[in-house]
Structure 1
Amino acid sequence: LGERVSWQTLATVLIGLLGVLVMLRPGAGLFDWAALLSLGSAFLYGLSQLMARKISDTESSTVMAFYQNGAYLTGALLVAGLFRLAGIEHAVHPSLEFLVRPWIWPALPDLLKMAACGFVASAGMILLSQAYRLAQANRVATFEYTGIIWSPLWGFLFFAEVPHSATVLGATLIIGAGLLAFRTERLRAAPPLLVPTGDTA
């Protein structure tokens, strides 16, 4: 993209990444081969946002969000069809079990919940695409780290799940990185100060 990355911006990205690593607690038994799926997903997601930044000069955020969601739907249908044709009924890892559950027709309350989820996700995709249109990708990425904070927050509010101390520490680092990025952006956008030359009329 040809974007210059200042040392302040690089520092905020690294601090945010450190916060994510603290929340994941490497070595605590949470990492296994299935984590590679998340790593691959993150890589492809980052690539998609770089592409969105690249085509933002010619396409609106709503158009980009539409095609992104269309790609997600197409990919999900292909994977579901392949699993169905292959007769895969049991996952080899617990985290993948939801992919091979038997298909059932959802009840009306569940349909409404899924529709609301789709609406919120689409709105978020539009806002995120607009953010990548207006700001440099490395700066937007810093604020995207805050997404990992919302999961434990909603878990606490709706399911009474108490977050681990590492989660709180990691969230603090991520919030600090976001505030630092915001301050850096404010200073960068501020008009230069006029220094008196000492000349008198």
Structure 2
Amino acid sequence: MTILLTGANRGIGRALFDGYRDRGTQIIGTARTGAGFEPLEVTDSASHAALAQRLDGRGIDLLICNAGVYPDKGMALEGGYGPDIWAEAFAVNVTGVFLTVQTLLPNLRKAGGKVAIMSSIMASHTRAPGGAYAYRASKAAALNLGRNLAQDLAPKGIAVGIYHPGWVRTDMGGDAADIDVAEARDGLMARFDALSLHTTGCYEDYRGETIPF
């Protein structure tokens, strides 16, 4: 089994990378920079093409689209949310996911693989307490992207799941978050194991609970 994980150098991504490696699974981690990881800038088509060339047709059993940004964390509505914030959030959290799946589709088809997209409970329009507009909107778009990919890729034998990792104590989540990375990692790994064509298009948290759209 071969897994490819984007954003593997820190936070939940690093926990997943280490967890699969400890399990003995072949895992390829990508990051913008960092020793031990394949270089990948998820917003750049040329970077994706270079990664695909290095993979040389290798089958991928599980693609985890984890790379993400939260550029408007703590930002105030008054005076904040400039165009650069929106551009960065959507470039990484949405376009980056699409380009990764699109580029590696031949590798996924070769292995009959599946795709896990890291979104957030903040993508749910039924749970909208306000704030974090760019992040929420980009994660909602990632959810929509995943749901539509699930439809188009099912005939190709590729399942797609969309997941909320929980509010995790990382640099992004902060010290006040609910759970540690080990709990999020273990829950997510179980969810990815369970993903199949029978559950494709699912929107779940790390415990396997369905999140309302």
TM-score normalised by L of structure 2: 0.28
Bigger relative contact order, structure 1 or 2 (CA pairs below 8 A, ≥6 apart): 1
Whichever structure has more helix as a proportion of its residues is 1
Whichever structure has more strand as a proportion of its residues is 2
